[in-house]
Structure 1
Amino acid sequence: MARLNQLGRNGSRVVPAFLTICVALTAACTSSSASDGDRDKAATASGSENDKAATPTVAAAPSASASLDPAEAAKTDALTAYKGYWTEMPKALSVLAIESTDLKRYAAAEALGKAEASVGNLKRNGRITTGEPVVTNSTVTAAELEKKTPNVSISSCLDISKWKIVDKQTGMPAPGVSSPVSRYVVVSLMERWDGAWKVLKDDLHADQPC
């Protein structure tokens, strides 16, 4: 499987080195958060013409997640964390500091280690990233939720056309050969650690444009 543009001296378009291959804030990867509840409705008791209105009672509306079965709720939580990963990871590469982002909240193991290595690589070469990747069609393609450490696989379409490496001082694009394709399938493995979903690794399928 071909690898595209390792992050380093020759990359002008971003396929970071930590991706064996979503989130910046991307429209397609954005999932609307469930409403915490509708406005409380006051119920007034009917009475005689001379009676005072009864004291309103508050009816709590069930949250959207409460209507999901446990498996679907777990997948929804994983997709939300996946969105957070693709939001925070580009931030880390643009400011060259993992600690200035919430990436550790959403990444661990290989994914986090390669992100840290990529930040160091950019620093050594005097470069940063600009723009954002766009992650669309995020779908849970496999799930093992009954295991001691639950896991899911998520497949997405990664668009890097607006995500570039530039010289930190001049802002000019770094020289190098652009990727032959700018949209391809990425599959991520996630596990739930202490109730929080984290991306452990990403695999790019460069032979599967999307």
Structure 2
Amino acid sequence: MARLNELGWNGGWAVPAYLALCVALTAACTSSSDSASEKDKAPQLSVSAAPSKSAPIDPSEVAKTDALTAYKAYWTELPKAFAVPAIEGTDLKRYAAAEALTKAEATVTNLKKNGRIMTGEPVVSNSTVTAAELEKKTPNVSVSSCLDVSKWQITDKQTGKPAPMASNPVTKYVITSLLERWDGSWKVLKYDLHADQPC
């Protein structure tokens, strides 16, 4: 948390699974025989394909999965931006908007100003959709995760050494985020860190 606060992050930080089914179709070819009796003796192949009854796809579950996929992508792109530091060259704007993007841009500016970068990566686990409003004009979901920043460090860009910072024993805590779907794409809009909720 101290790492983030030093960069001006006063709030919290703010995955689709696709299934494919392949069906192989084969055709049996038989050659004509010279006599009718041979045709009668030839084994007759019959194919009966009963349609498989799979469970109908729940659109709400698909939407939640898509949102979690975008959330995961956000956490992949954010460290890339802070490691340069620059938003350009990353897909962060594809997965972040509003407050989340503004804070990321502010952190990039702060890192540049102080000649620092962030090395390593955060670890985000146990991401779960805790609420969803999918029927609204702008669908949204809330996501809760466990964020571990113990291996994500502010580093002096010139020396490559860790930058001095206030010690903070809490490096793994709950983070809650809000995502909205804009033009068919899910984006992280804002997030809240809960340093009082270790995970």
Tell me the TM-score normalised to structure 1 length: 0.78
Quick one: distance in 1 between partners of 2:30 and 2:91?
A: 56
SS, match of residue 43 in structure 1? coil
**Whole-Å separation in 2 of the counterparts to 1:32 and 1:79:** 7
Tell me how far 1:181 sits from its aligned partner. 1.1
Mapped contact 1:155–1:188 kept (Cα < 8 A):
yes
Deviation at 1:43, TM superposition (A): 1.6
Which of these residues, 87, 93, 105, is aligned with residue 116 of structure 1? 105
Q: Distance in 2 between matches of 1:107 and 1:18?
A: 16
Q: Which residue of 1 aligns with 2:43?
A: none
Query: Secondary structure at the residue paired with 1:181?
Result: coil
* Aligned match of 2:175: 186
* Number of residue pairs aligned between Structure 1 and Structure 2: 181
In the alignment, what sits opposite 2:162?
173
Do residues 152 (structure 1) and 141 (structure 2) align?
Answer: yes
Do the aligned partners of 2:122 and 2:149 also contact (CA within 8 Å) in 1? Answer: yes
1:126–1:167 contact (8 Å) kept in structure 2: yes
Q: For residue 43 of structure 1, what is the amino acid of its counterpart? A: T
Corresponding residue of 1:73? 62
Displacement of 1:22 after TM fit?
8.2
Identity over the aligned pairs, expressed in percent? 65
CA contact (8 A) 1:143 1:151 kept: yes
Which residue in 2 is equivalent to 1:34? 18
Higher Cα Rg: structure 1 or 2?
2
Aligned pairs for 1:190-201 (under 5 A) are 190-201=179-190
Distance 1:186 1:19, change over 3 A: farther
Which one-letter code corresponds to 1:151 in the other structure?
A: N
RMSD of aligned Cα (Å): 2.7
Q: Identify which of 148, 151, 157 aligns with 1:162.
A: 151
Please name the residue that 1:57 is paired with. Answer: none
Alignment-mate amino acid for residue 136 of structure 2: K
How far has the Cα of 1:49 moved from its partner? 7.5
Query: How many Å separate the matches in 1 of 2:197 and 2:13?
Result: 16
**Structure 2 segments unaligned to the other structure (5+ residues):** 34-38, 40-53
- State whether residues 133 and 162 of structure 1, in contact with CA within 8 Å, keep that contact through their aligned partners in structure 2: yes
**Aligned-partner residue type, residue 186 of structure 1:** I
**In structure 2, how many angstroms separate the alpha carbons of the residues matched to 1:105 and 1:187?**
20
**Which residue does the alignment assign to 1:26?**
none
Pick the aligned partner of 2:8 from 17, 21, 24: 17
Alignment partners' CA distance in 1, 2:20 and 2:76: 23
- Give the AA of the match of 1:150: P
Which amino acid counterpart does residue 44 of structure 1 have in structure 2?
Answer: A
Residues 144-200 of structure 1: CA distance to partner in whole angstroms, max 9, x if unpaired? 000000000000000001100000011100011232211100000000000000000
Q: Which amino acid aligns with 2:185?
A: A
Does the 8 Å contact 1:128/1:167 carry over to 2? yes
